[in-house]
């Protein structure tokens, strides 16, 4: 099994534990088992192997999109910081020139 698949299986196991807790809490409150507008069944949903594979691929696709967007955000923040630093340096340089001219 590949590393990404192992990570996914561990993640799925953790999420299943969360769902089990959610189901126990909902059963105690006699409310419906709906989470993110999906009816959650105690035995889980039955999926074919193709459907499971599609879910795995969609999961990785969404993770890649999020990774790319976060990378873009980081680059933009760095550009903003650089521009702000340059503008502060320009203002300081202008202030020094004004002070030097005033002293002369």
pLDDT digits (tens, 9 = 90+) for 50-84: 988 898 899 889 999 999 999 999 999 999 998 88
pLDDT at position 30 over 60: no
Structural domains in the chain (count): 1
Retrieve residue 20's tokens: 């089990």
- For the residues 26-36, what does the mean pLDDT come to? 66
The Cα–Cα gap between 51 and 38 comes to 17
- For the residues 34-47, what does the mean pLDDT come to? 76
40: burial class by Cβ within 10 Å (0-12, 13-18, 19+)? middle
The Cα–Cα gap between 12 and 6 comes to 10
The Cα–Cα gap between 8 and 12 comes to 6
Least confident of 30-44, 59-73, 90-104: 90-104
The residue whose two tokens read 């807790």 is 21
Number of H helices and number of E strands within the chain?
2, 2
Q: What is the pTM of this model?
A: 0.53
- For the residues 37-46, what does the mean pLDDT come to? 76
Residue 58's domain comprises 3-103
Q: Which of 14, 42, 12 is nearest to 27 (CA)?
A: 42
């Amino acid at each position: 099994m590949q590393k990404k698949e192992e990570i996914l299986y561990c993640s799925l196991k953790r999420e299943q534990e969360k769902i089990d807790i959610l189901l126990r809490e909902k059963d105690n409150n006699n409310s419906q088992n709906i989470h993110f507008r999906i009816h959650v069944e105690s035995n889980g949903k039955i999926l074919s192997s193709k459907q499971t594979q599609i879910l795995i691929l969609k999961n990785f696709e969404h993770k890649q999109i999020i990774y790319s967007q976060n990378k873009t955000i980081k680059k933009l923040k760095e550009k903003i910081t650089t521009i702000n630093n340059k503008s502060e340096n320009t203002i300081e340089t202008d202030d020094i020139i004004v002070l030097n001219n005033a002293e002369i």
